[in-house]
């Protein structure tokens, strides 16, 4: 079975541009989360979607937005890119979410975004 797939794998943008990152979860998984990993740091939570609804949002500016489609794939959009947005963006899927949330996450290999 295919794991979590993300596209593109690498992306170079300039300041002020907009970017869209895509994620396809493992088949049957209904929850998708997005994380930002800056070099030398642990991943930081950006969003979580479940059944096409936003279920959680991290401490990121409104320039960051996301959505989940009926097939459970997801897009992360970042507007007005800043140099500091340069990072590895990770998508993770899980089968479902439950109160307490102890399902393990399955991560994709990420999209490396460089903002020049």
Contacts to another protein by CB under 8 A: 4, 31-33, 35, 40-45, 48, 50, 55-56, 58, 90, 92, 94, 97-110
Least Å from the CB of residue 114 to another protein: 14
Quick one: 25 or 85, whose CB is closer to another protein? 25
Distance CA 115, CA 28 (A): 34
Ramachandran region, residue 84 (left: φ > 0; alpha: ψ -120 to 50; beta: rest)? alpha
Quick one: 65 or 106, whose CB is closer to another protein? 106
Quick one: 16 or 69, whose CB is closer to another protein? 69
Residue 104: closest CA among 45, 33, 46, 40: 33
Least Å from the CB of residue 51 to another protein: 11
Least Å from the CB of residue 20 to another protein: 19
Quick one: 19 or 108, whose CB is closer to another protein? 108
DSSP 84: G
Least Å from the CB of residue 28 to another protein: 16
Residue 116: closest CA among 50, 19, 43, 21: 19
Residue 70: closest CA among 56, 54, 53, 52: 52
């Amino acid at each position: 079975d295919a794991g979590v797939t993300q596209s593109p794998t690498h992306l170079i943008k300039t300041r002020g541009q907009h970017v869209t990152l895509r994620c396809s979860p493992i088949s049957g998984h209904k929850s998708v989360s997005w994380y930002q990993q800056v070099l030398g740091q642990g991943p930081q939570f950006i969003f979580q979607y479940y059944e096409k609804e936003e279920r959680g949002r991290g401490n990121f500016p409104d320039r960051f937005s996301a959505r989940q489609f009926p097939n459970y794939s997801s897009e992360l959009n970042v507007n007005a890119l800043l140099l500091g947005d340069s990072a590895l963006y990770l998508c993770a899927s899980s089968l479902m979410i439950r109160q307490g949330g102890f399902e393990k996450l399955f991560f994709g290999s990420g999209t490396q975004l460089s903002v020049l």
